[in-house]
Amino acid sequence: MKNRIITPLLIALLLPMIGFAQNPIVQTYFTADPAPMVYNGTVYVYTSHDEDSTVNNFFTMYDWRCYSSKDMVNWTDHGAVASLKNFTWMNKTNGAWAPQCIERNGKFYLYVPIHGEGIAVLVSDSPTGPFSDPIGKRLVDSDHIWQDIDPTVAFDDKGQAYLYWGNPGLWYVKLNEDMVSYDKTVGDNGIVSIEMTPEAFGSKEGRDGKPRTTYTEGPWFYKRNNLYYMVYAAEGIPEYISYSTAPSAEGPWTYKGQIMERADHLAFTNHAGIIDFNGNSYIFYHDQALSKGQGFKRSVSVEQFSYNADGTIPLIEPTKEGVKKSVSNLKPFQKVEAETIAWSEGVKTTSDNRTGIYVTNIDDGDYIKVRSVDFGKGAKKFEVRAAVMDGGEIEIRLDDKDGLLLGTCEIPNTGDINAWKTFSAKVNKQKGIHDLYFVFRGGDGELFKLDYWKFK
Ligand code: FUB
């Protein structure tokens, strides 16, 4: 009896000192090339997606995924929001590289590179899709489509949208108000080529001994206070992250140095996206920690950082702990999608037209962690919507996988794996803010699928 109380108490006291893995932020899929967007009090992160099976030892990427968070520690999976199949004017089946989404007048524009086919655009009425192709052809009409990757988009002071992109060059177009065409009167039929000088983008020695700029790919363009920033993957391989700044959206750019160095758990590519959210600044990037060193199986991670007083960016360390403090607490007394996850082991997500996204691949011993859950004065009952495979139970624990057991929700086999039903369990009242763990128990087979849960 004594141990049952002391152990969870000790764990709760020691947790802030122990430090836990929070990176990468998605454990159910391999994700890369993060492009965060703040909209309506929520951070949406659009990612490319490295398939579980790599074909021909090269990037194997068919679709783009989206995750959202209001607290920066729990991420809700919105699935694949677009794929190469959206584009009927080309027949590439691989090459869904680094995307970015931006909102204008209530519409969401997703700019995507299709490796070898150039840059395209999709539009939706919702940040999580469905997206459709508004123009039926590639957006950027250039004569160097192999170099046309990694689009990044932002507005200047006057609401002019600029779309930058490129490897190893850097180009931009000035998007028209419709966001799906551009001003053809500037540059070369609308495409403006940025002069790559050491002053603008740093310098390194190329393989031929001649100097090159450090800029390589993955630009992330944004404006903050009175400064325009271009953050990008530099040198390579392996790449690190550097940045340049400019007084206007069109330059001139000045090289400012490195903001993320190479590190053992980072991949041979890196790709950053930076936002301010709720008064904090965050940098998203990708690593290869989850795949234990496979550069074509990357994972999105995030760090909180602070700008220096003059607007320069400090050197940021890519950590396993990631974001230490949530910006708000999760409310457990309303429906929470089961695919809202701070950390998980073993499980996957999938979707169908009837249920939307749900958690699947649940086996004995797998678990889901949800951080910073505010139980207020405590809950009496737990409810979960599940479709049962072999059946099993959910241990509801606090603050650790082996922490205080609030209750156990039995999910017996109903004999129909397609019937979604609500199951419930009494739970012990515990007050306050806790990390919540759902630990799955059962036999050898797949136990059940989970749609959503809530406490009462
Ligand atoms: O993910 C495919 C490519 O790798 C991206 O387009 C580059 O930025 C690099 O991350």
Cβ–ligand 1 distance for 182 under 6 Å, the answer: no
Q: Of 25-34, 209-218, 317-326, which range is least confident?
A: 209-218
User: How would you write 354-420 as a 3-class SS string?
Assistant: CCEEEEECCCCCCEEEEEEEECCCCCCEEEEEEEECCCEEEEEEECCCCCEEEEEEEECCCCCCCCE
111: which 2 tokens?
């700019």
- What is the Cα–Cα distance from 341 to 32, expressed in whole angstroms? 18
Give me the pLDDT at residue 450, please.
Answer: 98
- What is the Cα–Cα distance from 325 to 224, expressed in whole angstroms? 23
- The total number of residues shown for the chain amounts to 456
Give me the pLDDT at residue 13, please.
Answer: 42
What are the pLDDT digits (tens) for 135-152?
Answer: 999 999 999 999 999 999
DSSP 280-295: EEEEEEEESTTTTS-T
Going from N- to C-terminal start, the domains of the chain cover 21-305, 336-455
Beta-carbon-side half-sphere exposure of residue 413 (alpha carbons within 13 Å):
9
Give me the pLDDT at residue 370, please.
Answer: 98
Give me the pLDDT at residue 298, please.
Answer: 98
DSSP SS3 for 153:
strand
Atom of ligand 1 nearest to the CA of 233: 8
The H helix count followed by the E strand count for the chain is 2, 32
In this predicted structure, the answer to whether residue 2 has a pLDDT above a threshold of 60 is no
389: which 2 tokens?
């495979």
- In this structure, the number of other CB atoms found within 10 A of the CB of residue 10 comes to 12
What residues are annotated to the active site?
A: 52, 217
Q: How far is CA 143 from CA 146, 163, 189, 214, 230, in A?
A: 9, 17, 11, 24, 24
Q: Whose CA is nearest to atom 4 of ligand 1?
A: 269
Atom of ligand 1 nearest to the CA of 149: 6
How would CATH label the architecture of 336-455?
Sandwich (2.60)
Q: Whose CA is nearest to atom 7 of ligand 1?
A: 218
* Cis peptide bond prior to 8, omega within 30° of 0: no
Which residues contact residue 125 at a Cβ distance below 8 angstroms, ignoring those fewer than 6 apart? 106, 107, 108
- What is the Cα–Cα distance from 431 to 448, expressed in whole angstroms? 29
What are the pLDDT digits (tens) for 308-339?
Answer: 999 999 999 999 999 999 999 999 999 999 99
429: which 2 tokens?
């009242």
Q: Ligand 1: distance of its center to the CA of 104 in Å? A: 26
Which residues contact residue 91 at a Cβ distance below 8 angstroms, ignoring those fewer than 6 apart? none
In this predicted structure, the answer to whether residue 125 has a pLDDT above a threshold of 50 is yes
What are the pLDDT digits (tens) for 242-263?
Answer: 999 999 999 999 999 999 999 8
Cβ–ligand 1 distance for 59 under 6 Å, the answer: yes
Q: Which CATH superfamily, name and number, covers 21-305?
A: Glycosyl hydrolase domain; family 43 (2.115.10.20)
Cβ–ligand 1 distance for 217 under 6 Å, the answer: yes
CB 237 within 8 A of CB 218: no
Question: Is the entire prediction scored with pTM above 0.85?
Answer: yes
Residues 12-36 have a mean pLDDT of 78
Give me the pLDDT at residue 317, please.
Answer: 97
Residues 285-298 have a mean pLDDT of 96
Q: Ligand 1: distance of its center to the CA of 33 in Å? A: 6
Q: Confidence class of residue 173 from pLDDT cuts 50, 70 and 90?
A: very high
- Whole-number average pLDDT of the chain: 94
Identify residue 285 by its one-letter amino acid code: Y
Q: Ligand 1: distance of its center to the CA of 140 in Å? A: 18
Cβ–ligand 1 distance for 150 under 6 Å, the answer: yes
Residues 72-86 have a mean pLDDT of 98
Which residues contact residue 162 at a Cβ distance below 8 angstroms, ignoring those fewer than 6 apart? 153, 154, 155, 156, 172, 173, 174, 175, 221, 249, 250
Q: Confidence class of residue 277 from pLDDT cuts 50, 70 and 90?
A: very high
Cβ–ligand 1 distance for 49 under 6 Å, the answer: no
What are the pLDDT digits (tens) for 361-403?
Answer: 999 999 999 999 999 999 999 999 999 999 999 999 999 999 9
Give me the pLDDT at residue 7, please.
Answer: 44
Atom of ligand 1 nearest to the CA of 217: 8
In this predicted structure, the answer to whether residue 4 has a pLDDT above a threshold of 80 is no
In this predicted structure, the answer to whether residue 438 has a pLDDT above a threshold of 70 is yes
Atom of ligand 1 nearest to the CA of 32: 1
Q: Which of 406, 417, 408, 404 is nearest to 440 (CA)?
A: 408
